[in-house]
Amino acid sequence: MIGMFNGKATTKTFGLVALVSLLAFAAPLSAQVAPNGRWEFVVTSGDTPYQLNQAGQVTFSTYLNLYGTTLSGMPQQTTNTTSAEIYCCNDTVTGTFTKHNNTSTAVVQFSVPTIPQVGQVAFNYTFTGTFNPDPNNSNGPTITGTYATNVGPTYSLTGSGTFVATWFPDFPHNPVEYIGGLAGPDTGSGPTDVPAQVTLGTDPGSHDLIGTVNVPLLTNSNGVACFTGPLTIQTLHNPQLLGAGGAVNGVGVPFASGVGITIFAEDTAGNQLSLIGYSAKPNENSAAVGESYFVESDNSGDNTTTFNGSNQELIMYYGITGGPCDGYGGGDAPFHPSTKHEHHNKHERHHGNR
């Protein structure tokens, strides 16, 4: 089945976030040990009907690094779904991670700066919550608590509310294979349900995604192959990418932050492919706790926990620049690992509507 891409999922993709010992306070830790790594912050109460109708729940997808007790995130690896942000990917991400007795507390602030030339007004969201290293509703850690914001009454009912944040593991340093398919283009004609192979890994230094994409059977309406051999996942310079998946100034950096995944790849002839999507549950909803692309509400109603906080299923939307398939774009058949490479949390549940 072709992956669902309703309005909120499209907003996400184009907006497009276990403490095991006191070593968590060393500087810096491996990105694979929470609170370092990918976090998806999801507002679960307090959004206005306007915000929900325009873009769904407010979410922030980021990649956090811990130095001592200080948390920070990279602006270009941080996206959000708040309708108050006009120009993507200038968020400053700061925070703290402290431990008292057996309780760890995270404070994370996302600050959007003023940009007069585009009419952007400054605002921030500050999330304060308890770190849960072994929750019963996700395969990895979560943070639950409350937030405060000065975004204004157009977007937030009272300037405060509740949230939950879900941690996602990095893709391994040695790329792993995912098998899926690409749908026919949304406009024009071309083959449908084309088998595709993606290998995904994470550079341990930059946290950028690495790997390859191979879709040899994807052709235009005349049967000409879209690409010359496999494509290499890499940073691309393309003005047409401006704003797509955090491509500031047309520079596309492949990265994963929170639930979101942004892949840019190029073949030897210079033809480019973007794959922008998210980690999903079997029902193709977001794999972040409390987040839903299917309802216009802070209360998602989706109680399924299968694949929460994992990379066991990926939903992608693709776009092509250059070559015989220039301008093609469409959805996918969900991608799954060709071999099982993630350990499922012992508390994983299978319930709710599937």
Helices (H), the chain: 7-13, 49-55
User: At CB < 8 A and 24+ separation, what contacts does 233-242 make?
Assistant: 233/200, 233/209, 233/263, 233/264, 233/265, 234/264, 234/265, 234/266, 235/208, 235/264, 236/264, 236/265, 236/266, 236/272, 238/272, 238/321, 240/321, 241/274, 241/321
For residue 163, tell me if it sits in a domain: yes
Instruction: Pick the last residue of a domain from 133, 150, 168.
Output: 168
For residue 118, tell me if it sits in a domain: yes
User: Are 331 and 185 in the same domain?
Assistant: yes
Q: How many residues does the chain have?
A: 354
- Cα 220 vs. chain centroid, distance in angstroms? 30
For residue 160, tell me if it sits in a domain: yes
- What are the b/e assignments for 88-112, b being 16+ CB within 10 Å? bbbbebebebeeeeeebebbbbbeb
Q: What is the CA radius of gyration of the chain?
A: 19
CATH classification at residue 295:
2.40.160
Q: What pLDDT was estimated at residue 26?
A: 33
User: Are 186 and 204 in the same domain?
Assistant: yes
Q: What pLDDT was estimated at residue 240?
A: 67
User: Are 327 and 188 in the same domain?
Assistant: yes
11-62 tens-digit pLDDT: 444 444 222 222 233 333 334 688 999 999 999 999 999 999 999 999 999 9
137-182 tens-digit pLDDT: 999 999 999 999 999 999 999 999 999 999 999 999 999 999 999 8
CA dist 130 and 104 (Å) reads 6
User: Are 143 and 255 in the same domain?
Assistant: no
Q: What is the pTM of this model?
A: 0.85
Of the candidates 306, 212, 314, the residue with the CA atom closest to the CA atom of residue 256: 314
Of the candidates 246, 263, 286, the residue with the CA atom closest to the CA atom of residue 200: 263
User: Are 228 and 207 in the same domain?
Assistant: yes
- What are the b/e assignments for 227-263, b being 16+ CB within 10 Å? beebbebbebebebbebbbbbbeebbbbbbbbbbbbb
Q: What pLDDT was estimated at residue 247?
A: 60
**Consecutive 10-residue runs of the chain (354 residues): their mean pLDDT?**
41 38 32 85 97 95 96 90 86 96 97 92 97 96 98 98 97 96 72 89 93 95 93 84 60 90 95 94 95 85 90 94 91 82 32 27
- The C-alpha angle 96, 99, 105, rounded to 5 degrees, equals 50
For residue 49, tell me if it sits in a domain: yes
Maximum distance among all alpha carbons in the chain?
67
Of the candidates 282, 60, 309, the residue with the CA atom closest to the CA atom of residue 169: 309
Q: What pLDDT was estimated at residue 28?
A: 38
Instruction: Pick the last residue of a domain from 114, 142, 168.
Output: 168
User: Are 226 and 252 in the same domain?
Assistant: yes
Cβ-proximal residues to 226 (8 Å cutoff; 6+ apart), any chain:
215, 218, 219, 220, 271, 320, 323, 324, 325, 328
What is the residue type of 138?
A: S
User: Are 146 and 294 in the same domain?
Assistant: no
- Tokens read off for 162: 């509740």
User: Are 13 and 130 in the same domain?
Assistant: yes
Q: What pLDDT was estimated at residue 208?
A: 93
For residue 241, tell me if it sits in a domain: yes
| Residue 122 to residues 150, 152, 177, 203, Cα–Cα distance (Å) | 9, 11, 41, 33
Q: Write out the DSSP string of 52-118.
A: HHHHSS-EEEEEEEEETTEEEE-GGG-EE--TT--SSS--EEEEEEEEETTEEEEEEEEEEPPBGGG
User: Are 157 and 220 in the same domain?
Assistant: no
User: Are 303 and 189 in the same domain?
Assistant: yes
CA dist 278 and 287 (Å) reads 8
Q: What pLDDT was estimated at residue 249?
A: 64
Report whether 196 contacts 214 (CB < 8 A).
yes
Q: How many domains does the chain have?
A: 2
Q: Which domain holds residue 226?
A: 176-337
